[in-house]
Amino acid sequence: MSTLVTPEELAALDGVTILDVRWRLGGGPSDRESYTEGHIPGAVFCALDTDLAAAPGAGGRHPLPEAADFQAAMRRLGVDGSRTVVVYDEADATAAARAWWTLRYFGHQDVRVLDGGIRAWRHAGLPIEEGAGAEPAPGGFTAVPGGMPTLDADQAADLATSGVLLDARAAERYRGEVEPIDPVAGHVPGAVSAPTSENVEPGGRFHNREFLRERFNTLGAVDGVPVGVYCGSGVTAAHEVLALDLAGIPAALYVGSWSHWVADPARPVATG
């Protein structure tokens, strides 16, 4: 079973739940407005900031929701544990991957990602639906945490020396040259720069398995070496975990990521 689906494959699927996870940093009504202006027929809007994360705080900017809260959100969106879920965003799966990872973490076994997002769907000439969409029938999903490996801050620090810890942010943020969001610039000491943008082709589709595997092998993620990923707040890092999964490389996610790391001034920061 492939994690990725093409627009044509999605159009041929019956009985699936489709979640529109279009999102931009800072969130707000603009995300839902994009959905209202045009979405894949039958898709339901999923708000990353509230449906796929708890409120910002000590756990970072996008901490994991409590199991009961996530379960309630997914049931409201019509998600059922026995039915395939397909998630998509605008193009590059940055937000869709967070939905894929969170659903998998809480125990859903069949979650697919639309490769290329709604941009690829439009490019294929497939129909678009406007408006608020129909209210889905409540789903029966039961959230059971632990379906995907995670790291806390101490484990991430250890992995940076005992294995490979990938930093999925833009290279200039890794180097500490700029930091537009979090209060401290730099990276976890020992982490390796691996920008998420390099996982996809121009237009947003993922590179093929061979390309991704070679990329991550070059960064030290080879067979037998434990791998972890972080980013700013656990969103683009989920995209990196998905890319690693496509390459056949298991990886753990530091959900709190840099926004959690720098919340404790005692934690070391590297630059350059």
pTM: 0.96
Domain shared by 87 and 10, yes or no: yes
Q: Residue 32: pLDDT band by 50, 70, 90 thresholds?
A: confident
Q: Kindly list the catalytic residues.
A: 231
198 CB burial (10 A radius; 0-12, 13-18, 19+): middle
Domain shared by 35 and 102, yes or no: yes
Domain shared by 96 and 207, yes or no: no
Domain shared by 162 and 116, yes or no: no
Domain shared by 253 and 167, yes or no: yes
The rounded percent of the chain whose pLDDT value lies above 90 is: 94
For residues 61 and 84, give the distance between their C-alpha atoms in angstroms, rounded to a whole number.
Answer: 29
249: helix, strand or coil: coil
The two three-digit tokens of residue 22, written as one number? 């279009």
Contact of 238 with 257, CB cutoff 8 Å = no
Res. 110: pLDDT tops 70: yes
Q: Which residues pair with 192 in a beta bridge?
A: 166
Nearest to 245 by CA among 203, 216, 202, 205: 216
Residue 129 lies in a domain: no
Domain shared by 193 and 115, yes or no: no
Domain shared by 112 and 172, yes or no: no
The two three-digit tokens of residue 256, written as one number? 């709190």
Res. 200: pLDDT tops 90: yes
For residues 133 and 255, give the distance between their C-alpha atoms in angstroms, rounded to a whole number.
Answer: 31
Which residues have a Cβ under 8 Å from the Cβ of 102 and sit 6 or more positions away? 52, 64, 65, 70, 238
Residue 190 lies in a domain: yes
Q: Residue 30: pLDDT band by 50, 70, 90 thresholds?
A: low
Domain shared by 76 and 171, yes or no: no
Domain shared by 193 and 245, yes or no: yes
Residue 271 lies in a domain: no
Residue 164 lies in a domain: yes
Domain shared by 160 and 72, yes or no: no
Angstrom distances, CA of residue 172 to CA of 26, 193, 196: 20, 10, 13
CATH of the domain at 74: 3.40.250.10
CA angle 158, 3, 157 (to 5 degrees): 5
Domain shared by 49 and 118, yes or no: yes
CA angle 46, 48, 49 (to 5 degrees): 130
Residue 252 lies in a domain: yes
Res. 184: pLDDT tops 80: yes
Residue 267 lies in a domain: no
Domains identified in the chain, total number: 2
Domain shared by 157 and 251, yes or no: yes
Which residues have a Cβ under 8 Å from the Cβ of 61 and sit 6 or more positions away? 181, 182, 232, 233, 234, 259
Residue 140 lies in a domain: no
Residue 156 lies in a domain: yes
Segments forming the whole domain that contains residue 193: 150-261
Res. 100: pLDDT tops 70: yes
Q: What is the pLDDT of residue 26?
A: 62
